[in-house]
Amino acid sequence: MRRNLLKGIQRIITGLFKKIVLGDSLYPFSIAALDISTARQTDIVIGVYAYMLYIYFNFSGYTDMAIGCGRMVGIDLPENFNYPFFKRNLQQFWANWHMSLTTWLTDYIYWPLARKFRNIQKLRKKPVTISNICIVITFLVCGLWHGDGLNFILWGLYHGIGLAILNGYTHFIKKHTSRNIKKFVHNSPVAYGISNIITFQYVALGFLLFACDMEKLSRISSLFF
């Protein structure tokens, strides 16, 4: 009991640190708090990364506090984040970011849709096509779950299309490349580093869609194009 109490308190302190010291400190620099009318391009870029990290520290901080409170009374709550920014691709990112939501979407949206599409004769022998259709629909639902603004729909499409492209790429590497290429893609630290950077940047750009309504996105685009 004492062990659980101490671990619970430690986890709550960790959560408070993430939320108050890290997350709340980043918010004033984030794209959500930025005045676009006076912003420069560098402010936008910094704001996107600051917002992404703010969301992570804020959300994972609350998760830590909830897990800590549960541990104090002997309840083991599941983890919700597992170092998502260190993953090598978008699929791994989503498997380790807001894991409770990802699991729910997979169980109640993706797999029921996949079973339905497998009953369509023209698609029965096209598992990658079925998977990609289901991925895009699932993330459209994910976008709508977060809000009914057009930016959330675009955010869901953005991640759905990104995952579908990754799915096709993974299938191509598996079926149509040599053993040496497969070994490089899956085992090389260089390939991991490149993949991680691409994934990190892709996710960061997605947070721009998540944070800004269409009017704000239009103003931001006018600064770059």
Catalytic residues: 146
CB of 127 closer than 8 Å to CB of 152: no
Contact 100, 80 (CB under 8 A): yes
Could you tell me the sign of the dihedral formed by the alpha carbons of 164, 169, 174, 180, in that order? negative
Kindly report the number of other CB atoms within 10 A of residue 218's CB atom: 11
Q: 179-187 vs 150-176: helix axis angle to the nearest 10?
A: 140
Helix (H) or strand (E) holding 48: helix 41-72
User: Nearest Cα to 20, choosing from 62, 83, 71?
Assistant: 62
- Between CA 49 and CA 137 the distance in angstroms is 27
Contact partners, residue 45, CB within 8 Å, separation at least 6? none
How far is Cα 217 from Cα 224, in angstroms, rounded to an integer? Answer: 11
CB atoms within 10 A of CB 73: 10
